[in-house]
A and B are shown apart, each in its own frame.
Chain A
Amino acid sequence: DAGVIQSPRHEVTEMGQEVTLRCKPISGHNSLFWYRQTMMRGLELLIYFNNNVPIDDSGMPEDRFSAKMPNASFSTLKIQPSEPRDSAVYFCASSTDRLSNQPQHFGDGTRLSIL
């Protein structure tokens, strides 16, 4: 079975540019999560969707960050304009809440570097 698929795997861009990260969750999963991982702060939840609807975006750091989930098989996280402090590894995860205590399955992340 295909896991959570993220693209691109690596992104290097200059400060001020728009960055779009993409995620395809596991088929049948109805919850999707975007995380950011840094050495200093660890893994932080940015936003999560349930049945394509944003439920909690309290972790989104600033208005420069936005996320969408137009359908059950695709989500994007956009940063506009990007800043060097946005450099991190961004993970997407999905799970199903049809059974209790289901784990979150993570993609392999997008390593983002803003110069």
Chain B
Amino acid sequence: QKEVEQDPGPLSVPEGAIVSLNCTYSNSAFQYFMWYRQYSRKGPELLMYTYSSGNKEDGRFTAQVDKSSKYISLFIRDSQPSDSATYLCAMRPFAGTASKLTFGTGTRLQVTL
């Protein structure tokens, strides 16, 4: 079983919809959680960064962490065609580059007009 599980999709939604992307994990040592966005033929770019449980909001994006359930989510409000990309969750046990990042396999999102 993988340490981080993520539904590969594709997830197709109409423009303006609320999108929910999720990851589950098995390692209870994970404390830092990230969401990366990857456009086709590009490298991943950091979208959101959260520490421990709770919510963090940035514009149309909200990251949510539930450590008791080992479950993290990314919500996108008022989705736009430009949000069409693959979204990867990533997590690590502690801060700093000495701590290895473990990625999910990514969920492909398509926002249609």
List A residues at the B interface (Cβ < 8 Å).
Answer: 4, 31, 39, 41-45, 48, 50, 55-56, 91, 93, 95, 97, 100-109, 111
Contacts and interface: CB of A to CB of B under 8 A. Distances in A.
A93 B43 contact: yes
B43 A4 contact: yes
Nearest to A48: B97
Contacts of A41: 105
A interface: dominant SS: strand
Nearest to B103: A43
Contacts of A31: 97
Interface of B: 6, 32, 34, 41-46, 49, 51, 88, 95-98, 100-101, 103-106
Contacts of B6: 42
Given A4-B43, A43-B105, A104-B101, 14 more contacts: A39-B105, A42-B6, A43-B88, A44-B103, A50-B98, A95-B97, A100-B96, A101-B49, A101-B96, A102-B97, A103-B46, A105-B45, A106-B44, A109-B43
Give the most central of B6, B42, B43, B98: most A CB within 10 Å. Answer: B43
16 contacts: A4-B43, A31-B97, A42-B105, A43-B106, A44-B103, A48-B100, A50-B97, A91-B43, A101-B32, A101-B95, A102-B97, A103-B34, A103-B46, A106-B44, A109-B41, A109-B43
